Structure 1
Amino acid sequence: MRVSEEASVVVLELTRAEDDMAVEEGNGSSDNLLWVSLYLSDDFFNSTGAVGTRVADLDGGRVWVPTHDKPGAAIMLAAGEPGVAYVPFGAVDVETVWVFVPMAGFVQVEVVDREQAADAGVDLEEVEAALEEMGTDSSLAGPVGLETFTRALDESSSTLTTQEEVVVTLASDVTFESDSAELTSEAGSQLEVVAEQVRRYPGGGSLSIVGHTDDVDEEDYNQGLSEERAQAVSDRLGDLVDLGSWDVDVTGKGESEPAVEGTDDQARAANRRVEITLTPTEGTDSQDSASSAAPSASADPSASGSGGLPEAYGPVGRGPEGVTVPGRKGDGELSVVLEQVTRAGGFLLGELELTAGPGGTGDSGSTFLGAWLGDERAKALSNPRGEGVALDTTAAASGLTLLSGGERVFPTDYLPPGGDKYTPLTERGLGFGLKEGMVTRVCVAWPDTGQDTVVLDHESRTEDGDYAFRLTDVPVVEA
């Protein structure tokens, strides 16, 4: 509901079921009061209010975050008790939006004006009092763009798509022979990823190719090698696709701009790279494709270039039927079902149903859900982009990916106003566990891959298959 020219509010009506299990049997507080904010909160470190709620314009690829200065009091409900939560946002300039309510779902709703409050059953005076108590941070009011991050299944490249540009990062250890600017036999498939991106924007624009090295050799040598590698990529790319409508700039940065800090083997491998940035004249929405900016669609959702699907280290089953995932070292058990995903705008919306088996989610239900659903390949406290310490994704479902066109498609994400780390549009408050028999829902949004069915994959950090699972043949339905 629009409450002014500068502000809007989402009104959540909450009711705890009459026959809800006693809190001491599950999660919550004493006196059988359910700590609702634990599920509707923003992240692992904030468990008050309902500020995990998000408002999205999926047709426009935008999301609004709450504008509260204070998140509000904790929401506690007894069995059968109703309640209400008010979540403030900035001005919403469309008539219909999607609201993401953590652990509940994605709901498409009409945006109404304050004059319609009574017709909508909303107490306007109560709304205004709640908003005044929470305060407003106007720096959070504007919408931000939803973006796409993918990683090649062989980890040879990653692709980031914003509303203005596409950045493809090639791992030099795959692209080039060691200590050389000579392309390897594997470089062809890497550069075809870039060529496909170029073909999507026939209107052209600017194209930047920048080589980077690690810090092992002398600075002057590294500078020269980075320039030679960037030129080699440019030359081969020109053989694969017409660059006539693009203003191409080829440079090298040597060791001066590392992707990550550190001198261990993993850090140095990440720093040896070539970054190709496409900035289409008319923006990334101008692409000449029926699909979104995610990987190109395929008749077979499992198709992934010449390599097929990566090996599955955990249980595999059809999404509507689900799989049962064992906990680490056999501690706990979790059943996961994904009946379908919903296509809305340029995105796919999924709602997974999770049921805890014997042992719950581990240690009799004390192991938090984020450990089961996070990005297992990310460094500790980092996000899938590897952006260092990103504490608000510590308990996020950021590891629920789609496999498409040879790439792993991560949940769509966004850079919050004033933020410096990207945040996924999915659950971020999974800092709790489930005891045996408990059921919950986990929601996630991905870029649209343009397919009729999708494959959801949660990979493991090790070949032991801890928390790994795969759901195939998940049907895509229209909103």
Structure 2
Amino acid sequence: MHDRLGSGVDIRLPRRAVLTLPALAGVGILSACSGDQPKPVVQATTTPTAGSSTSAGKTKAVQIQASLKGQELTLDVGPVVRAEHEGEELAILPIHAEAARNNTEAVNVGDRLIGGLLTSVADYKLLRLIDTVGSKLWSTTSWQVFIEPLEPGKSQDLRATFGPVDVDSVTVFLSCVGFVEVPVLDADTDGAPRLDVEAIVKAANPYARLRTPAPLERYAEALDGSSSGLTTDEETTVDVSSDVTFSSDSAELSDDADSVLTGVAGTIAEYDGGDLEIVGHTDDVADDAHNQTLSEQRAQAVSTRLGELTDLGAWEVTVSGKGESEPKVPNDSDDHRQINRRVEIVITPTGGTDGSLSRSDVDAALPEAGGPEGHGPDGVTVDATDASGGQVIITLEEVTRRDGLLFGELRLKGGAGGSGSALNLGWVNDPGEVLANARGELAGLTSVFSAGGLTLLSGSDRIYPVDYLLEGTSAHRALTELELTDKLREGEQLTLCVVWPDTGEDTVVVDHPGARDGVTSYAWRLTQVPVVAG
């Protein structure tokens, strides 16, 4: 069963079944994965206590206070320890949890922080280590699907396994708790935790495919739909809409073309040279020969104009057309055909990218908020718009800038009557197509359970959370909460973690857009969120 479930094939369910699962989880039916205990809701303060250290040169754990379903906990996190088992390198993150004596019920600490049966089957383990300098992450390899709940007044040692970690410090993503920076130590380092590696590996049953770290990627879309940009560690790909840059069935650049191509030229100018590939694409309207010629002519027109906007002398430029042969999405609707009418520009600098987003240069005004709007520290009160009712209060005191990334810890609180529905059902989800992520990839359950709809508005772009592609999977996971099937009771709080690309601004705007394509989504916006160094 282990090998079969780990084949990397995302779980696909009918729309009705998918929409039902989170609702069932919200009322406890899916909690059978964790010993029939209710899903914990975390109210966390992630400030290290006195005497703790986040310095990579120290060996101490970082101690934080957290609250799960109103039950108080103390967590000692890290350091990560490099070890070896049967000739194979691995890393282990120790977490020591203590429950307050006056707690009234047991809490599922392991299920919340590491993940349980559902997260294992669907390939979206919750615990992740982030290398901000190298722009990559490790997903836990632990395949342990049941961890005993933590009783009041008791303590518990959690041991999560990872593939080899080759850096001196990492930022730990603690789901619904916060981000904690901890050192990475060799097992024989003085002061490093002494771990029973054999017993830990036996209990974790590590999943080998998840050993490899995944590069972090950055994705943004122009607000007017004129372009989208994707940046990996090796290249930047910009899709320019032919509907904006060309007249219908023409290879002559439109009056609006420069507003789009100037942004691309600016990205090219940031580097000293490399490979530049420009490829034209069409939809399936008209015959193959016509579409092939049109795609070639449009690609050449874009290449010529880019050469006028910036010096391409240090770039190896290739220009081609694919006609209708390589659609981005099926040509089964007018909206999809519009997506397929594009010119794709792939910028591969010598030595790789610097991780910066490719930004559009379109003169687009910030769209009006689709729902309540307020300053991040003050928060907004969001009311459900469907029959289920509910209210959630959302605040964001600040975001932390670190090595080209922005770390946010939003506070969600149940308003009058509580949230009414699970948080992934309208409050923070990506309002795109069911089972598809922001890029349009079929991502299975992670698209339904996650907080992928928390975007930044910057200039003329909508910027999505940083994402990553695990080995053997076909869709990117957002670097945010991946399992938000919790309901909030009135007054109950939860911390929601998310990582965005750095926009370079002193303040940011967090925007959750309204529904589209028939998916329930409640619009809200937080403005003037301060950015602090961390």
Task: Please state which band the TM-score falls in when normalised by the shorter chain.
Answer: 0.7 to 0.9
Q: Is the 8 A contact 2:260 2:362 kept in 1?
A: no
Q: CA deviation at 1:474?
A: 0.9
Q: Is the 8 A contact 1:44 1:429 kept in 2?
A: no
Give 2:380's aligned residue. 323
Q: Give the alignment of 1:3-402 within 5 angstroms.
A: 3-4=83-84, 6-18=89-101, 20=103, 32-42=105-115, 45-46=118-119, 51-68=125-142, 70-116=143-189, 119=191, 122=193, 124-125=195-196, 128-201=198-271, 203-285=272-354, 293-294=356-357, 305-329=362-386, 331-362=389-420, 366-369=421-424, 371-376=426-431, 378-402=432-456
CA distance in 1, matches of 2:511, 2:109: 29
Q: CA RMSD in A?
A: 2.5
Per-residue displacement from partner, 1:302-335 (whole Å, max 9, x unpaired)?
A: x985222112111111111111111123711111
CA distance in 2, matches of 1:294, 1:474: 20
Q: Is the 8 A contact 1:319 1:472 kept in 2?
A: yes
Per-residue displacement from partner, 1:212-239 (whole Å, max 9, x unpaired)?
A: 1111211111111111111111122222
Q: CA deviation at 1:370?
A: 5.2
Give 2:36's aligned residue. none
Runs of 4+ aligned structure 1 residues displaced above 4 Å come to 17-20, 41-44, 462-466
| 5+ long unaligned stretches in structure 2 | 1-80
Aligned to 1:2, the other structure's residue is in SS state strand
CA distance in 2, matches of 1:43, 1:83: 16
Q: CA deviation at 1:71?
A: 2.6
Q: CA deviation at 1:443?
A: 0.3
Q: TM-score, normalised by structure 1?
A: 0.87
Q: Is the 8 A contact 2:415 2:491 kept in 1?
A: yes
Q: TM-score, normalised by structure 2?
A: 0.79
Match for 2:376: what amino acid? G
Q: Is the 8 A contact 2:115 2:145 kept in 1?
A: no
Match for 2:419: what amino acid? T
Most deviating of 348-357 and 79-88: 79-88
Aligned to 1:77, the other structure's residue is in SS state coil
CA distance in 2, matches of 1:38, 1:361: 22
Q: Is the 8 A contact 1:415 1:421 kept in 2?
A: yes
Give 1:473's aligned residue. 528
Aligned to 1:373, the other structure's residue is in SS state coil
CA distance in 2, matches of 1:359, 1:14: 31
Q: CA deviation at 1:405?
A: 2.7
Identity %: 45
Give 1:438's aligned residue. 492
CA distance in 2, matches of 1:304, 1:459: 22
CA distance in 1, matches of 2:116, 2:526: 26
Per-residue displacement from partner, 1:323-371 (whole Å, max 9, x unpaired)?
A: 1111123711111111011111121101000001123222xxx434353
Aligned to 1:46, the other structure's residue is in SS state helix
| 5+ long unaligned stretches in structure 1 | 23-31, 286-291, 297-302
CA distance in 1, matches of 2:468, 2:210: 13
In structure 2, relative to structure 1, the CA distance for the partners of 1:75 and 1:155 (3 Å cut) is farther
CA distance in 2, matches of 1:435, 1:319: 22
Q: Is the 8 A contact 1:211 1:254 kept in 2?
A: yes
In structure 2, relative to structure 1, the CA distance for the partners of 1:323 and 1:157 (3 Å cut) is same
CA distance in 1, matches of 2:361, 2:117: 35
Aligned residues, how many? Answer: 448
Match for 1:103: what amino acid? C
Q: Is the 8 A contact 1:350 1:443 kept in 2?
A: yes
In structure 2, relative to structure 1, the CA distance for the partners of 1:42 and 1:197 (3 Å cut) is farther
CA distance in 2, matches of 1:189, 1:294: 17
Aligned to 1:198, the other structure's residue is in SS state helix
In structure 2, relative to structure 1, the CA distance for the partners of 1:389 and 1:106 (3 Å cut) is closer
